[in-house]
């Protein structure tokens, strides 16, 4: 399905990890296929449950029951999981990668958590980071990354719950976007095809297959990362980055509920998108337009502004925030969009938060707004 400015790619197959044959002397059966069901799903409410199941098959497609499977959550701040049963429990809004490990192989699924019924953010404080800031993401309220910079180098600021610490991580390329699967697996992308990775200790440059600008990055798993921009659509498989669609140079943003259910925002209109499920996705545009996807089609929403909107994020279908050029912060309560008093008229670019309290908004000219409920 394609509409002007954005398009969606969907599939229903479950990602399968094909494994190399085991040594013939091994007493364990040879695992030919390892899958998780569901590959991507959503839950609503703190404490809500979702049970994942894993399937191991041999080379004859017969089930293997003798190999134990261990479950883990890559971000327990969003959801925890029982190591033995695969039952996940929601903790806060966001997306969390679920891992299943058998023998020496790990496969992944994605859980999206929404937390409805929250009061909107009421208090905003501002802190100037001293550089152009274009995007923000975090693993927790006390583990947040803001990225930006410019010709003097790409910068990352890390918030530990009290202070921001700024580091220069690229020499000459500003950074446009940041996303991670955990506090020790964070990706940032930017000008000239720049891609950097944080492993929990330090940032390092990755080999990029493009010199075009990359405007957004999103990950379903450590070995399933998507980057988009003027360099086309890129994919990271855990080993290397490749260009998967060189013609997709008009994308400003990517978001999905799994690696096979992706949505892209186009450069001509939409600038950002975010959702709570495959049937509840919002996009924003420079003409103040807000669009909503219900799983079948996109429809226009009344935003109450004609000012450019550049970022969107929320904790639930009734708690969504859109930010824009003139310092706008709009809030959607499930029925209407209404303005919030941000206390600034500077250009606001992106917004990210966590349902337990904090919402962060970044500005092109340096100030980061931190909102609390």
Q: What average pLDDT does range 86-96 have in this prediction?
A: 98
Q: Which domain holds residue 250?
A: 2-6+118-372
Residue among 130, 203, 205 at smallest CA distance from 164: 130
- Please give the tally of structural domains in the chain: 2
Q: Which two three-digit tokens encode residue 243?
A: 């260009």
Determine the pLDDT at residue 9. 38
- Quick one: 108 and 134 in the same domain? no
Residue among 312, 354, 263 at smallest CA distance from 40: 263
- Quick one: 151 and 215 in the same domain? yes
- Quick one: 73 and 122 in the same domain? no
Q: Is the pTM of this model over 0.75?
A: yes
Residue among 147, 144, 195, 140 at smallest CA distance from 168: 147
pLDDT digits (tens, 9 = 90+) for 186-224: 999 999 999 999 999 999 999 999 999 999 999 999 999
Q: What average pLDDT does range 246-275 have in this prediction?
A: 90
Q: Strand ranges (DSSP E) for 115-240?
A: 123-128, 133-140, 143-150, 153-159, 164-168, 175-182, 185-190, 195-198, 203-205, 214-221, 224-229, 232-236
Q: Residue 107 belongs to a domain with what CATH number?
A: 2.60.40.1080
Determine the pLDDT at residue 268. 61
**Residue scoring higher pLDDT (259 or 77):** 77
Q: Residue 286 belongs to a domain with what CATH number?
A: 2.130.10.10
For tokens 């450019």, what's the residue? 308
- Quick one: 232 and 326 in the same domain? yes
- Quick one: 94 and 123 in the same domain? no
- Quick one: 234 and 367 in the same domain? yes
Banded pLDDT at 62 (limits 50, 70, 90):
very high
Tell me the three state secondary structure of residue 211: coil
Determine the pLDDT at residue 267. 57
Cα–Cα distances (Å) from 146 to 110, 157, 179, 273, 366, in that order, read 23, 5, 10, 18, 10
Spatial CB neighbours of 251, under 8 Å, sequence gap ≥ 6? 215, 216, 228, 229, 233, 264, 265, 266, 267
- Quick one: 78 and 209 in the same domain? no
- Quick one: 174 and 47 in the same domain? no
pLDDT digits (tens, 9 = 90+) for 262-285: 999 985 679 999 999 999 999 999
- Quick one: 106 and 124 in the same domain? no
- Quick one: 314 and 243 in the same domain? yes
- Quick one: 188 and 248 in the same domain? yes
Q: What is the mean pLDDT of the chain?
A: 90
Domain boundary among 114, 145, 161: 114
């Amino acid at each position: 399905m394609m509409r002007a400015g954005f398009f969606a790619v969907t599939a229903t197959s479950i990602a399968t990890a094909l494994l190399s044959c085991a040594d013939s002397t091994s007493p364990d059966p040879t695992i030919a296929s390892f899958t998780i069901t569901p590959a991507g799903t959503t839950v609503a409410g703190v404490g809500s449950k979702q049970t994942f199941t894993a399937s191991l098959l041999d080379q004859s497609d017969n089930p293997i029951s003798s190999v134990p499977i261990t479950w883990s959550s890559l971000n327990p701040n969003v959801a925890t999981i029982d190591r033995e049963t695969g039952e996940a429990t929601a903790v806060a809004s966001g997306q969390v990668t679920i891992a299943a490990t058998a023998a020496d192989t790990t496969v992944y699924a994605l859980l999206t958590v929404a937390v409805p019924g929250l009061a909107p953010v009421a208090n905003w404080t501002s802190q100037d980071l001293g550089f152009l800031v274009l995007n923000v993401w975090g693993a927790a309220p006390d583990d947040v990354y803001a990225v930006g910079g410019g010709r003097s180098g790409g910068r990352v600021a890390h918030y530990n719950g009290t202070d921001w610490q700024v580091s220069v991580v690229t020499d000459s390329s500003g950074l446009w976007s940041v996303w991670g699967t955990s506090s020790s697996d964070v990706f940032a992308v930017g000008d000239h095809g720049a891609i950097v990775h944080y492993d929990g200790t330090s940032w390092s440059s990755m080999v990029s297959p493009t010199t075009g600008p990359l405007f957004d990055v999103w990950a379903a798993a450590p070995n399933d990362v998507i980057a988009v921009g003027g360099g086309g659509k890129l994919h990271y498989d855990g080993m290397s980055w490749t260009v998967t669609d060189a013609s997709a140079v008009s994308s400003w943003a990517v978001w999905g509920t799994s690696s096979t259910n992706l949505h892209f925002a186009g450069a001509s209109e939409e600038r950002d998108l975010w959702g709570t499920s495959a049937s509840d996705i919002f996009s924003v545009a420079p003409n103040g337009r807000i669009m909503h996807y219900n799983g079948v089609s996109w429809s226009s929403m009344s935003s109450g502004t004609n000012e450019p909107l550049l970022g969107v994020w929320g904790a639930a279908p009734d708690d969504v925030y859109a930010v824009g050029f003139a310092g706008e912060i709009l809030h959607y309560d499930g029925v209407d969009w209404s303005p919030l008093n941000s206390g600034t008229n500077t250009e606001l670019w992106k917004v990210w938060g966590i349902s337990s309290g904090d919402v962060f908004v970044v500005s092109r000219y340096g100030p980061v707004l931190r909102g609390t409920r």
